[in-house]
Every structure is written in C-alpha cells, then in structure tokens.
Amino acid sequence: MYQGIYGSSKKHESDLDHVINRAFKSGVEKIINTAGTHQETIQALELCSKYENLYTTCGYHPTRCNELNESNEDEILKQMIDLCEKNAEKIVAIGEFGLDYERTQFCGIDQQKRYFEFQLKHLISLKKPLFLHNRASSQDLYDILYKYRDEIKAGGVIHSFDGTLDEALQFIQLGYFIGLNGCSMKIQNNLDVIKQIPLNKILVETDAPWCGIKQSHASYSHMNTQFTSELVKKEKWIAGKMVKDRNEPCTIIQICEVIHSIRDKKESFDELCETIYLNTKHLFFSDQ
C-alpha cells in the first residue's frame, strides 16, 4: 500500500518516505517493521539501512509457513540465523510468528504448529524477544510457549491481542507483554478486557497498514486525535497526505488515547504513555 498498490492495482506513486517521515515528525522515535518471511526480512533490512531508527523482525508468519518444508527448512533456518547474527542491531525480535486458526486456507493447523515450534526451538538461542501472532489459537500457542519456558529468556509480546482476560493473564503470567492496536479494540468486549490488563504489561502498536481505528469500532469515541483533514482517498492521492483506510505509524497516539480513556483516566495521559514507552524499551531496546 505504501508503494501505492492496493490488491493488484496501482493507485498512486510510492509514498513510503512520506509515511516514515510523518511518523518521526509526530513523535515516533523508533519503528519496528514486522517481516513474515526470510525474503521480507531481507527487504526490511534494506529499508532499515536508509533510516537510522527503523528496525525489523525475522521469522515466518503462520500464514506463510507453507513456504517451509522438510527439504528447505534446514537451509532457510541457517540463513535466518546468519542474517540475525550479521544484523544483530537491526533485527530486534524473532517473528512475527505464532498461530492463526482464523486463516488456515494459507497454511493448515498442523503445518503452522510444526513450524512455529521449529522456529521457536531453533531461534531461542539468539536471545531475542518474540513477536507473536495469535488468532483463535491461544491454548495451542500457550502450550508451545510453556514447553520452552525455561529456555526463553528474552520475553516477548502477544501482538494484536483480541482474546479474553483469562488468556491475557495466562500469557502475562508466563512473562509476556500484551500488544494492542486498532484490531484489539473493535468491540465493547475488547475494551472491557483491556481495562483490566495491568498497564506495566501493555505495549502499543499500529500494525500499519492494517488495523486502523474505524468509525464503527467501539474504540472510536474514546480517541481524541483525528487525522480527518489529512486524509484523501487513494484514487485522489496527493503527495504528503495520508490515505483513507490505510493505517500509518503516526496514528499510534490514538491507541494510547483509547487505553487512557477506558482506564477511566486512572493516571495522566503522559504517565500512561511513559509507562508504555518504558515497557517497549525494556522488551526491545534494553541495551540502548
């Protein structure tokens, strides 16, 4: 989408540089790009080389695990480890990986489980935090993480969390942060869960270009910052403007605003942001 391509049709020229600069201008300090295959990590590293404060993950997304099989898994694993070691500063997490039982058309459950565990088992030794994807798969994800709990030292985040409070607390107890974005707060039920998650276990993310907050979401009335005057339809794109229905990193403030509002403003907005900022630093940038 940042290349101007939506589905298979080109609507406008690439504006990725605008998007990234808009984020940094709005106060974002660092961006972690999430890669879903080895090839995507290589692409992300190329982008990272152009921007000082851009980082990436390294791993296979559950919907991309069909690209791995018994004849290439060892070779790809070797390449991934090699890439992580050579780019230790830019690759700040393993992932995004995990399980997705809502989209099994790309990769079946058995294959997903096999390659989630395969990556986990062989990449733990890199001692990087885990960036975990979880859709309708909490129990299986938990069981696999539990199995390796003693070897996993760097912690991780259950990103784009939209589960129950019990699930959140189970993951927290195992040492994980809960990552919240627009998809985590679509319905009132989600808000009721978020309200009860301890603030020192919350991370925020955008998952851009996906997961923007929409007018139909329960979260919508809880946010203050609007980008309405900045938005144009993709067909009417002009340089320097944001595109309607395409999310961007600069909208991350909205996620914090929603959390602040549904927690009944228990703490000041600045305090809330500072806590989440420190959580993020602690997990991904503890050496900086």
The residues binding Zn ion (CB under 5 A) are 133, 160
Q: Residue 99 CB, nearest distance to Zn ion (Å)?
A: 10
For Zn ion, the closer of residues 157 and 191 by Cβ is 157
For Zn ion, the closer of residues 160 and 184 by Cβ is 160
Q: Residue 51 CB, nearest distance to Zn ion (Å)?
A: 22
> Is position 89 annotated in a ligand binding site?
no
Q: Residue 133 CB, nearest distance to Zn ion (Å)?
A: 4
Residue nearest to Zn ion (CB): 133
> Is position 96 annotated in a ligand binding site?
yes
Q: Residue 181 CB, nearest distance to Zn ion (Å)?
A: 9
For Zn ion, the closer of residues 15 and 100 by Cβ is 100
Contact 44, 20 (CB under 8 A): no
How far is Cα 281 from Cα 288, in angstroms, rounded to an integer? 8
Contact 124, 151 (CB under 8 A): yes
For Zn ion, the closer of residues 133 and 246 by Cβ is 133
For Zn ion, the closer of residues 96 and 257 by Cβ is 96
Q: Residue 278 CB, nearest distance to Zn ion (Å)?
A: 24
> Is position 159 annotated in a ligand binding site?
yes
Single-letter code of the amino acid located at 256: C
> Is position 207 annotated in a ligand binding site?
yes
Binding-site residues: 96, 133, 159, 207
Binding-site residues for a divalent metal cation: 96, 133, 159, 207
